[in-house]
Amino acid sequence: MKPKLKKSLITVIKILISIALIALVFSKLDWKQIQLMLKTASPFYFLTGIIFFLISQLISVFRFNIFVRKVGVRLSFEANSKLYLLGMFYNFFLPGGVGGDAYKAFALSKSHGKSLKKIGQIVFIERFLGIVAIGFVLSILILFIQTPFSYFWNLGITVTGFIATMVILRLIIRFIHTYKKRIYIGFLYSIAIQAAQLICVICIMRSFQINGNYLVYLLLFLISSILSVISFAGLGIREAVFYYGAHWFQFNADISASVALSFSLITAGVSFMGVIYLFQKIPLKKNI
């Protein structure tokens, strides 16, 4: 199968998975209860959640910069932020088209005369470090959550997660040794990104006056973030994980799904801001 056709097929499958899961979850929700909850929601906490989501994206911009500088790409903060927003727009609103990460790699390669392979490698490393960070935070969080398993099982998962993270980071450095220091710094940035997004989720919960199960909600969020790779932009997967996870942990599934949907809407709203730069040229060459 041709690579282009294969990519298109994967995209179609992801979109179908998202549509199917959204339809399934939405058909089960009690919309009257959700409507009542929204009427009493706190705008302050919701806006605070949006701010922390923006902070997470701001950290992502800085993380991207520490890697591209290694290959001689110099970007101003303004240009880097605009390029990042445009990449978010591509990822969220243009299924089947050029992916946001691919666009960033191509644009920087062309504007700076750098190897597309090298910049593509950087983009992949950056994203992969994000997944590793999610797994790391998830394994630590499990230690503090009451699960159907014993405490020693949870401890075993935490220890395994820590060891696996260290091994993966060492393997990345072994194969891409020129980025040694940046791998560790990038990983710490990734941890900070997840922390900001977890605070965003907590703020959404506070907005909906959810006073308990904070850690469980955060656990479901991290699990949905990992599983989001099999859906389009994480849509459907996050809502399904929150809805069925609520049944597993025995709390309100409608409210749980509403938290996930709110996070998806925040992501969509911020991503849509990138549409501006579809029609506005971004100066990618920094004047030194």
Sketch the domain layout of the chain as residue ranges. Answer: 3-27+43-278
Could you tell me the pLDDT band of residue 123, with boundaries at 50, 70 and 90?
confident
Is residue 8's pLDDT more than 80? no
Q: For residues 29 and 19, what is the distance between their CA atoms, to the nearest angstrom?
A: 16
Average pLDDT of the chain to the nearest whole number: 87
More confident residue, 239 or 281: 239
Q: Which of 110-124, 181-195, 206-220, 240-254 has the highest mean pLDDT?
A: 181-195
Cβ-proximal residues to 287 (8 Å cutoff; 6+ apart), any chain = none
Task: Find the mean pLDDT for residues 9-30.
Answer: 86
- The predicted model scores a pTM of 0.90
Write out the two tokens for 3.
């690579």
Task: Find the mean pLDDT for residues 62-71.
Answer: 88
Helix (H, G, I), strand (E, B) or coil at 152: helix
What's the first-to-final CA gap in the chain, in angstroms?
A: 45
Could you tell me the pLDDT band of residue 15, with boundaries at 50, 70 and 90?
confident
Task: Find the mean pLDDT for residues 54-77.
Answer: 90
Could you tell me the pLDDT band of residue 288, with boundaries at 50, 70 and 90?
very low
SS (H, E, C) 9-59: HHHHHHHHHHHHHHHHHHHHCCHHHHHHHHHCCCHHHHHHHHHHHHHHHHH
pLDDT at res. 95? 63
Write down the H helix ranges in 94-232. Answer: 100-112, 116-141, 151-175, 180-207, 214-227
Is residue 92's pLDDT more than 90? no
Lookup result for tokens 């690579």: 3
Query: 205 burial class (0-12, 13-18, 19+ CB within 10 angstroms)?
Result: buried
pLDDT at res. 100? 79
More confident residue, 202 or 113: 202
Is residue 4's pLDDT more than 90? no
Closest CA to 287 of 115, 123, 111: 111
Query: 278 burial class (0-12, 13-18, 19+ CB within 10 angstroms)?
Result: exposed
**Cα-based angle 233, 238, 239 (whole degrees, multiple of 5):** 120
Q: For residues 138 and 40, what is the distance between their CA atoms, to the nearest angstrom?
A: 31
Distance of CA 138 to the CA centre of its chain: 14
Give per-residue pLDDT as tens, 210-248: 877 789 999 999 999 998 888 877 788 999 999 999 888
Q: For residues 2 and 10, what is the distance between their CA atoms, to the nearest angstrom?
A: 12
